[in-house]
Structure 1
Amino acid sequence: MIIFGTRVYLHQLAILMLTCRFCGNPAAHAVRKYVTKFTLFFVPLFPVSTTYATQCTFCGAEQEVPKEWAEQSQAQAAGATSGTA
């Protein structure tokens, strides 16, 4: 008997203050990376797909975003927290 399947792994890349396009409120948005991996006997082997999305913390609406935008947002958030004094 062989047990195989997929599992989704969530990586939070950044938190940004944006105006939500669904509820219209200025709120924090989590920029997330979803990686679906093929598993064999519950051991993740290799990624099958990767998607990026933002989620509004006010209303919970989620919107898919391009990879480039998500990576740029992550770099921008990392630069803001590094503390340039």
Structure 2
Amino acid sequence: MLILFGFKTAVKELSRRQAVCPNCGQHASQRIDQRATKFTLFFIPLFTTSRKYSRTCAYCGVTSELSKGEKDALV
């Protein structure tokens, strides 16, 4: 019997907003993303194993991780 299982990571853009970048200090567009890793069985996603949030500055391109509380404040 053959069982196929694995993990799939999906990136979803939650929002974009104008804010000051913590890296370069410029007032620029910030993209808030959610990265969800899901357990799959026979290529069907069953449940989410982890969620991470990140912010990417459109001016300098630096990506930094956010906590759930920081994400809620920005979105």
Question: How many residues of Structure 1 are paired with residues of Structure 2 in the alignment?
Answer: 74
2:67 alignment partner AA: P
Q: Which runs of 5+ in 2 are unaligned?
A: none
Aligned partner of residue 74 in structure 2, secondary structure: helix
Instruction: Give the 4+ runs in structure 1 shifted more than 3 A.
Output: none
CA distance in 2, matches of 1:17, 1:51: 21
Matches within 5 A, 1:1-85: 1-74=2-75
CA distance in 2, matches of 1:3, 1:57: 39
Structure with greater strand percent: 2
Superposed CA deviations along residues 9-65 of structure 1, whole A, max 9, x for unmatched, are: 122222121222223322100111111100111111100001111111122211111
Give the TM-score taking structure 1 as reference length: 0.75
The percentage of counterpart residues that share the same residue type is 34
Give the TM-score taking structure 2 as reference length: 0.84
CA distance in 2, matches of 1:52, 1:5: 22
CA distance in 1, matches of 2:12, 2:73: 15
CA distance in 2, matches of 1:57, 1:6: 29
Q: CA RMSD in A?
A: 1.4
